[in-house]
Amino acid sequence: MPTPRVKLDKQDPDVYKHLVSVSIAVADAAADAGLDRRIIELVNLRCSQINGCAFCLSLHHADAVKAGVTEQQIAVLPAWREAPSLYDDQTKAALDLTEAVTELPGHRDANCAYERAADILDAAQISAVTWAAITMNAFNRVSIMSAHNVRPR
């Protein structure tokens, strides 16, 4: 019988509230940087796909659709490089940077991803995408380690 998981958000609600506050600040920074909410939701989904976080995938799928991301863009997201016509240049730059933040490649690969992003995104947008990926990765880890359940809709 598996050991029951501590629900981190319930065990330390003040810490979790601070993480939520960070995510709100990141969303504000992204909006201030002129990034469409659809890009941030695709960042959230891509982090969650890489990390295998079912809870966050379920949550952000609904948020992405609400923001206007198409079902086709969501379905193809794991292979976004193979369907470049589905994503604009800004989105592709954000996804490339997101993967570098999430997978933490070697410095050379990270530098390449950053340089590709810098060709399309300005400093505020790079910062917002990077913070969005960092924050989503934190939420993924909270949900995975807490074994948050995905409930049918």
User: Has residue 149 been placed in a domain?
Assistant: no
Q: What percent of the chain has pLDDT over 90?
A: 90
Coil, strand, or helix at residue 70?
A: coil
Domain count, the chain: 1
Report yes or no on 4 lying in a domain: no
Q: In this predicted structure, what is the pLDDT of residue 108? A: 83
Is the CB of residue 146 less than 8 Å from the CB of residue 8? yes
Maximum CA extent, the chain: 52
- Single-letter code of the amino acid located at 89: D
Q: What percent of the chain has pLDDT over 70?
A: 100
Q: What CATH number did the domain enclosing 125 receive? A: 1.20.1290.10
Q: For residue 80, what are its two tokens?
A: 């976004």
Summary mean pLDDT of the chain? 96
21 in a domain, yes or no?
A: yes
Residue type, 82: E
Residue 60's pLDDT is what? Answer: 97
Is residue 100 in some structural domain? yes
- pLDDT beyond 90 at 25: yes
Q: Whole domain around residue 128: which residue ranges?
A: 12-144
Q: Is residue 3 in a domain?
A: no
User: Average pLDDT of 26-51?
Assistant: 98
Residue 37 inside a domain? The answer is yes
Q: Distance between CA atoms of 104 and 10, rounded to whole angstroms?
A: 29
Residue 6 belongs to a domain = no
Residue among 3, 2, 15 at smallest CA distance from 139: 15
Residue 82: Cβ within 10 Å count: 8
| CA distances in angstroms from 4 to 13, 61, 136, 140, 147, listed in the order given | 18, 27, 24, 18, 9
Alpha-carbon dihedral sign for residues 61, 26, 40, 31: positive
Residue 136 falls within a domain, yes or no? yes
pLDDT tens for each residue of 78-97: 999 999 999 999 999 999 99
Residues 115-135 have pLDDT tens digits of 999 999 999 999 999 999 999
